[in-house]
């Protein structure tokens, strides 16, 4: 399983990610993303990958979810 993460040192609040994955990303009042960091569903993964590839600041990443069983 994978989830989204934002590198806040890179993100500049373009908001493109929220347009590409509105089911999981909304924007705060300044245009910075609010990420639903729960595991993505299989159906959401392709949109999530597109959002990651499209981020102009390379701030958005897909990370594997570490569960107790995978440690």
Binding residues for ligand SF4, rule: CB under 6 A, are: 6, 11-17, 33, 55-57, 59-60
CA atoms of 34 and 32, how far apart (whole Å): 7
Q: Which is nearer to ligand SF4, 11 or 48 (CB)?
A: 11
Q: How far is the CB of 39 from ligand SF4 (least distance, A)?
A: 19
Q: Return the number of the residue (12 or 63) whose C-beta is nearest ligand SF4.
A: 12
* Residues in CB range of 56: below 8 A, 6 or more apart: 12, 14, 16
Smallest separation (angstroms) from ligand SF4 to the CB of 35:
8
Q: Supply φ then ψ for residue 54, to 5 degrees.
A: -90, -15
């Amino acid at each position: 399983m994978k989830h989204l993460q934002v590198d806040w040192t890179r993100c500049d609040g373009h908001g493109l990610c929220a347009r590409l994955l509105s089911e999981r990303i909304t924007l705060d009042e300044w245009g910075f993303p609010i990420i639903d960091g729960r595991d993505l569903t299989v159906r959401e993964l392709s949109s999530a990958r597109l959002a990651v590839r499209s981020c102009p600041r390379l701030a958005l990443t897909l990370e594997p979810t570490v569960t107790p069983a995978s440690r």
